[in-house]
Amino acid sequence: MNSQIKNSLKFSLTIAVITFVLAAIFSVISSSILGEVMWMIGLVIVFLIVLMGVIFDMLGIAATAASESPFHAMAAEKVHGAKEAVAIIRNADKFASFCNDVIGDISGIVSGTASAIVVLQIANLFGEGEGSSIQIILSVILTSLVAAITVGGKAIGKFFAIHSSTSIIFFAGKLISIIENKFKIKVLPKNKK
């Protein structure tokens, strides 16, 4: 097996383990938070989870669409975030996989679970339980609304990701620079020439 296939398999296994852990964490946190709040706040949380998925999807697409050349002069002048932007673009496949597949897909799954909790809370307000006609109608409406906002949001995000990839990746580079420098958390691998 050549080294590229080995590296790809290693990355795939690593990303699968990270996805498992993050999905478990997000599910536990969202379920426990949603169980303790009013349905209106739960609905806001559902839409925040959807928004997170849309933003990360946009970041992943922007990484694959961006060119690193605008960031070289900035990196030479030590502009914060430029070196990280170059690292994002050079690792666009892994960055996009993490943003689109890990965070984006987890957001979709968790928003579905969270929607179900909110639907049950609303149905309980009407004195209706699981399996009632009100619960089924609410479930169809909320699931459809979440799906429409997710797909529509990702479509708009893709437009911005393709047409404003440089600014989006520069902003992401600045955020990563802050995380790496202020909090000493390594997010990106070192640049390879």
Question: Nearest 5°: phi and psi at 118?
Answer: -65, -40
4 pLDDT tier (thresholds 50, 70, 90): confident
Nearest to 122 by CA among 62, 61, 44, 42: 42
Residue 189 has pLDDT above 60, yes or no: yes
Report yes or no: 115 and 33 within 8 Å, Cβ to Cβ.
no
What is the amino acid identity at position 4? Answer: Q
User: Would you mind telling me the total number of residues written for the chain in this entry?
Assistant: 193
Report yes or no: 117 and 35 within 8 Å, Cβ to Cβ.
yes
- pTM of this prediction? 0.88
Q: What confidence score (pLDDT) does residue 191 get? A: 56
pLDDT digits (tens, 9 = 90+) for 104-160: 999 999 999 899 999 999 999 989 878 889 999 999 999 999 999 999 999 999 999
Nearest to 157 by CA among 93, 108, 104, 81: 104
Calculate the average pLDDT of the chain.
92
Q: What confidence score (pLDDT) does residue 190 get? A: 66
CA distances in angstroms from 137 to 44, 86, 93, 150, listed in the order given: 20, 48, 40, 20
What is the amino acid identity at position 8? Answer: S
